[in-house]
Structures are given as C-alpha cells and as structure tokens.
Amino acid sequence: MLKVNPLIDLFFKDQPWEKRLESIAACGFRYVETWRGADAAELKRMNGSGVQLISIVMNFATEAEVAPINPKNRKAFLEHIDRMADNALGAGCRQGIVTAGQQVGGLSYQEQRKALVEAMTQAGNLVRDRGFQLNLEPLNTEVDHAGYMLWSPADAVAVAKETGCDNVKVLYDIYHMTIMTGNQTAFLRENIDWIGHFHVAGVPGRHEPHNGETNYPFLLKEIEKCGYQGYIGLEYFPLLPSEESLRATAEYFGLKQGA
C-alpha cells in the first residue's frame, strides 16, 4: 500500500505542531512532511502521536544565496545542506527536498546545469554516510515559479543520474508536471527508480486532488504497479476544513483508514 502523508504546514493551521499531529493521526495518517527545517527543536516536535516526520525542505527556490545552480554559492550551499541534514536526522527524518533556484543572470543554462550537477554530487556524497537522501525538485514555471531554472522532469532525472550518487533522486510533483509536461504515465514507468518522493495537488488551483483534471486514482495505481515504495505527499491548499479535506482525499485515493 502506498504511504500517503500530509504537509503538516498546511493542515489544522490554528493548532500547535503537537496538536496537529494528533488531528492528522485521527484522520488515519501516519506520516507528515514539512516545508521547515532550520529549527532542529521544532522538527522534533513534528514527531509524536504515532506520526513520523519523513521529509523536510532543504532550501527554497527563492533563496538565491544558497541556490546550487550558482557556482559562487558552492560553499554556502554545502554548509546549508550539511546543517539541514543534521537537523532532519535529529528528528528521525532521512530525506529532504532540494530546489535548483531561480535562473542566474549572466550564466547560460548549461553553465547553471553544470554547477547543479557538481553541487548535487558533492551534497550527495556529503550526506550519504549519514543515510540521508536528497530529492531534487523540478517546478512549473507557468503558474507558480516563473524564472525557476529546472522545470523538466527528464532533465532532473538526468542530473540525478550524472551525480553518480544513489542517494540523489527526484521529487516528482504531479501538480507541477501536469502543468509542464503531461504524458506522466509513460514517464513514470520509465523512470520510477529515480523518483525519491511524490507530491500531489489538484490542477488547476493547487487544492484537493479530487478537485481538478488529474486522474489521481489511475496514476497512483500505476505508481504502485511500478513498485514504488516511498511516500506520496499531500502538498495542497485545502478549500475544505482540514479534517474533511484529509478524509475526502483518503477516500478519493482509495486508502484504508487514510493511511
């Protein structure tokens, strides 16, 4: 059975972290992820009530000073990854999301891509012995992330392969890639071994998965048939109250007890 996890930042937002965990557990989910990562103590509070923290965000696309596509940032990027990985591991979390960053003026795509491969190679080697995985994320540039450098899932997989690191994978966000490329079933069948994590949301709007054009039950069955054993993250902005939204999503996905 697929392991589906809410993004804790987006649900039960009027409650403290510990109470959110209780509410999420009451909906039948056993895993969460977060956009946060800089505060080690805060991450530890995201474990409890039978719910496990499984992923953090290592850097945001808008954090130009640590964007791995800029070779001038290499030292700062690696120090940042090192620190964030330690924070995550201290909370029992063993993977994090890496964004490539906004396009750098004065550098060609190939120059930025070369810097990205080199940075991800060094970062992967840096955290490998700690059993930590990095998931590189392509994003859509049509709606949410104009100017972002890495929008192609095929190129993201190619970058991961070129690092030579078995702990560097791709975060495949079905919402983003529906907007950018489509034809997702064929891509996932061919590249599932390079997918380290999934995100989902409805298209258009980035709300509940059932409220959109994407046939998620079909795609999730295909992902499961491909042998994927990782996590499916619910990274959407709910229109419904949190409990109602999570239960509706679990029912739409055909999950037993929302797990």
In order of their start, the domains of the chain are 3-258 (3.20.20.150)
| Dihedral angle of Cα 204, 210, 214, 219, to the nearest 10 degrees | 150
Q: Check residue 12 and give left, alpha or beta (phi > 0: left; psi -120 to 50: alpha).
A: left
How high is the mean pLDDT of the chain? Answer: 96
Helices (H), 27-152: 40-44, 74-90, 109-128
Q: Residue 258 has what pLDDT?
A: 44
The percentage of the chain sitting over the pLDDT mark of 70, rounded to a whole number, equals: 98
| Radius of gyration for the alpha carbons in the chain, expressed in angstroms and rounded | 17
pLDDT tens sequence across 63-74: 999 999 999 999
Distance between CA atoms of residues 63 and 110, nearest Å: 21
Distance between CA atoms of residues 62 and 24, nearest Å: 29
Residue 212 pLDDT greater than 60, yes or no: yes
Distance between CA atoms of residues 146 and 20, nearest Å: 32
The model carries a pTM of 0.96
Contact 100, 148 (CB under 8 A): yes
pLDDT tens sequence across 224-254: 999 999 999 999 999 999 999 999 999 999 9
Distance between CA atoms of residues 50 and 95, nearest Å: 19
pLDDT tens sequence across 17-72: 999 999 999 999 999 999 999 999 999 999 999 999 999 999 999 999 999 999 99
